[in-house]
């Protein structure tokens, strides 16, 4: 049975036509793009395991830097996906540079079909092997968005070192920052990835049911105990136990949890038998556990037991450069889900989103994008797509779109794009979704 989803990005219609005939005979699904302008949105919607990426797309620019740029974008957003670079003989040195930056391999045009299929199949197998799964693209490893902020880069560096171990982890961060997503990512790249990950929302577990839910019970232990019931620790044995909202455990429950973590055995309610459990523990909270220890509401010994490594996820307002890329991912997701033709954001809308406080973080941004996509009648979302109720400003003030003129917003958006893409006008124009002549006119207009 054919397996694997391949996304081809090449501006040559002849090449796309040839690959459209060749690849579907060997892979489950194949999509072809003529331009990388929609690459990231299709990555999110199509979820390929392998991308075959051309190195040049613009007649004015044939240095291969475009291919390196888009390679970097894919690697940041989808680190598990394998990228194979497609290049001419003259660009082989550049393709080698691409491999240093994380590309799986490169193919030289004109290609031999046998070699092309061999490389793409190898890339797909490498993806499956490293993902520890069956080739599905919807793994937790791809759901997390690392972005380009220094704060997230520092976090990822620690995660990559810690994830492969069995060390206990405490994930902290505000509501909506994605603590559960990070926990799933850690499990998916750990040595326990082929074993279960059991997640428990401790905020939803009542004090009276805590022992039964966590440690299990035997038949007859209480009125409704009609049969033996293993707890969450037993269910997660061999894998990972994720305790979300760890700060909600009452002190009596904390003592019992500490005992299990120290002894690595559980005793079901109504029984005396100790059952060994082998779990990797990950906890998460949006509370300040250190302060709770000082206040006497959280045990100090339990705090140190669960806090071998603290992974703190920054708030969205602390990683402003990631807001627009995240928004575009959500736009692509909901455009596909609701069959809408929305493809992006105007420069003014991009600037507006970066100025918001996002007290609900990524969860709030996702909800706002979903609403905007559903209600939009145009391809690009503009400032009118975001109501005062949907997007509160920093400090909780009411949204006021008149605090800056559209010309000021446009100028700042152009300056930000030029700073990001190193004055490569082709990439700046693509990022702003305008033509190069239009960009030239605006640069002249604003004296940039």
Domain at 317-446: CATH code: 1.10.8.60
pTM exceeding 0.75? no
Q: Which of 11, 4, 49, 64 is closest to 29 using CA atoms? A: 4
Cα separation, 106 vs 429, whole angstroms: 27
Q: How big is the chain, counted in residues?
A: 448
Do residues 361 and 315 touch, judged by C-beta distance below 8 A? yes
Find out whether the peptide bond into 395 is cis, omega within 30 degrees of 0: no
Q: CA 316, 317, 318, 324 torsion: positive or negative?
A: positive
The residues pairing with 128 across neighbouring beta strands, listed in sequence order, are: none
How far, CA to CA in Å, does 332 sit from each of 313, 370, 413?
24, 10, 21
- Looking at domain 150-312, its CATH class is alpha beta
Cα separation, 176 vs 333, whole angstroms: 18
Residue range 150-183, pLDDT digits in tens:
899 899 999 989 998 999 999 999 999 999 999 9
Q: Is 403 exposed, middle or buried (0-12, 13-18, 19+ CB in 10 A)?
A: exposed
For residue 129, the model assigns a pLDDT of 72
CA 232 to chain centre: 27
Domain at 5-138: CATH code: 3.40.50.2300
- Is there a common fold for 150-312 and 317-446? no
Packing angle between helix 150-162 and helix 179-188, nearest 10 degrees?
40
Cα separation, 182 vs 203, whole angstroms: 19
222 backbone dihedrals φ, ψ, rounded to 5°: -155, 175
Q: CA 276, 277, 278, 280 torsion: positive or negative?
A: negative
Cα separation, 220 vs 223, whole angstroms: 7
Cα separation, 319 vs 387, whole angstroms: 23
Residue 63 DSSP SS3: coil
Extents of the domains making up the chain: 5-138, 150-312, 317-446
Do residues 60 and 37 touch, judged by C-beta distance below 8 A? no
Cα separation, 340 vs 319, whole angstroms: 29
Query: Beta 29-33 vs 5-9: how paired, if at all?
Result: parallel
| pLDDT tens digit at each of 448 positions of the chain | 678 999 999 988 999 999 999 999 999 999 999 988 888 878 877 889 999 999 877 554 455 577 888 898 888 888 889 999 988 755 667 777 788 788 888 888 888 898 899 899 989 988 887 664 443 333 344 467 888 888 998 999 999 899 989 999 999 999 999 999 999 999 988 989 888 889 999 988 888 888 888 998 888 877 777 788 888 999 999 999 999 999 999 998 999 999 999 999 999 988 889 999 999 999 999 999 999 999 999 999 999 999 999 999 999 999 998 999 899 888 888 888 888 888 889 988 999 999 888 999 999 999 999 999 998 988 999 888 886 544 444 443 333 333 445 566 667 777 777 777 766 777 777 767 677 777 777 777 777 7
Residue range 346-404, pLDDT digits in tens:
988 999 999 888 999 999 999 999 999 998 988 999 888 886 544 444 443 333 333 44
Q: Compute and round to an integer the Cα radius of gyration of the chain.
A: 25
């Amino acid at each position: 049975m054919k397996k694997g989803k391949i996304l081809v990005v090449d501006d040559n219609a002849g090449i796309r036509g040839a690959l459209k005939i060749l690849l579907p005979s060997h892979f489950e699904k194949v999509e072809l793009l003529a331009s990388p302008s929609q690459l990231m949105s299709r990555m999110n919607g199509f979820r390929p395991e392998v991308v075959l990426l051309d190195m040049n797309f613009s007649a004015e620019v044939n240095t291969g830097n475009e291919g390196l740029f888009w390679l970097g974008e894919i690697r940041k957003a989808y680190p598990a996906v394998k990228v194979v670079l497609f290049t001419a003989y003259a660009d082989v040195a550049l393709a080698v540079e691409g491999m240093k930056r994380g590309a799986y391999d490169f193919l030289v045009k004109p290609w031999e079909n046998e070699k092309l299929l061999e490389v793409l199949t190898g890339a797909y197998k490498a993806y499956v092997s490293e993902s520890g799964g069956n080739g599905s693209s919807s793994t937790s490893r791809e759901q997390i968005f690392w972005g380009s902020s220094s704060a997230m880069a520092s976090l990822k560096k620690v995660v990559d070192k810690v994830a492969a171990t069995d060390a206990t982890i405490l994930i902290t961060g505000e509501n909506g920052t994605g603590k559960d997503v990070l926990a799933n990512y850690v499990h998916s790249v750990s040595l326990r990835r082929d074993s279960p990950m059991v997640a428990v929302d401790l905020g939803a577990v009542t004090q009276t049911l805590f022992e039964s839910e966590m440690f299990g019970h035997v038949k007859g232990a209480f009125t409704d105990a009609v049969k033996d019931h293993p707890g969450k620790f037993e269910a997660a044995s061999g894998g990972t136990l994720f305790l979300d909202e760890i700060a909600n455990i009452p002190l009596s429950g904390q003592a019992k949890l500490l005992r299990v973590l120290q002894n690595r055995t559980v005793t079901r309610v109504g029984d005396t038998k100790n059952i060994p459990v082998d779990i990797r523990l990950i906890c998460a909270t949006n509370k300040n556990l250190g302060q709770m220890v000082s206040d006497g509401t959280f045990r100090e010994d339990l705090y140190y037991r669960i806090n071998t490594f603290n992974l703190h996820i920054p708030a969205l307002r602390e990683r402003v450069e990631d807001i627009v890329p995240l928004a575009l991912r959500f736009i692509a997701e909901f455009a596909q889900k609701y069959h809408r033709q929305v493809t992006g954001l105007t420069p003014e809308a991009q600037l507006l989103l970066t100025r918001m406080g996002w007290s609900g973080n990524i969860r709030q941004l996702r909800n706002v994008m979903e609403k905007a996509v559903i209600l939009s009648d145009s391809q690009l979302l503009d400032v009118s797509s975001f109501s005062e109720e949907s997007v509160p400003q920093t400090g909780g003030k009411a949204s006021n779109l008149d605090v800056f003129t559209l010309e000021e917003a446009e100028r700042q958006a152009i300056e930000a794009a030029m700073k990001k893409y190193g004055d490569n006008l082709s990439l700046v124009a693509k990022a702003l979704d305008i033509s190069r002549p239009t960009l030239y006119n605006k640069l002249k207009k604003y004296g940039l």
